[in-house]
A and B are shown apart, each in its own frame.
Chain A
């Protein structure tokens, strides 16, 4: 549905690439709980669970699941699709009905082979929600070189998704396929410094806007129309350096460009400090800026006969920033339990598209994470 209705279907699998420097496979279990809340009256509560079982020194099976309980004004707004902007009633979050508007169940299964020098992971992911079905396959390969000073990674994923709108809508097609190829190089520079270069190729095909987003033109709802293909490239460079025994700093920059003419720059920095032998805390900041798509017109100038119709602010130019505080606690250096948590504040700049759809000048969000890892 709207931008946020289909929140949190996807997940990241970091396993192959975070194992950039050789490590043995081990049995692990984790429990997590995430929250998200924003000024667009979206609330998401997400318990997570993962289990990884080493079958031998070289084989590991993994299972992850995430359940998202979503409450969103944009879902309720579907009940009154002629409203040009989010109304006060629609934006009230809870509305007349108790409980979440949607609950998504999204499991992932994967297997890893790791002999110390080579690590190969493959798996699949499915998700179900009221109006969107997602299915993906993925594989990652990491090769250790130069006495584990260098790690080369290749990751490929392909999704085969389908829209199943909850209300009758005219859609040119209901499928969406997304392909992603990642190439990465990790290199240790000194015992206190490592860098990573990443290139990503992204290709999307199918019905790419939300089927629920619309503009009111001449008193009529005109639903979004986007090109049916999109190709993007992203380049990132990251570095992490030890400042002293207790402090480190993490820096990264990403440049993104696609054939819709959207270009973006992202910088992220994080400082982490061991304030005791058991506790690590930090502070991070992120800044993002993007240009508009080449088919996005100033709000109020679109015609119903235009080839493309844009209502979603993400196809317009805007900036955002994020500040956050991470926290990690280990009872002891030899402990097999680890607690981690974080809280972040995210805000976009003012934008006429955000104002039109959400009835607020900018989007402001707070999201938190909590996780307990247990090695057994």
Chain B
């Protein structure tokens, strides 16, 4: 796999997981301030 593709997939995976976790936590209505 070329390095640029590995970098791109790594970054995309990280961003996707971070976004998903953030979205889940922002919509966690049981979380107290």
* A and B associate in one complex: no
Chain B residues with a Cβ under 8 A of chain A: none
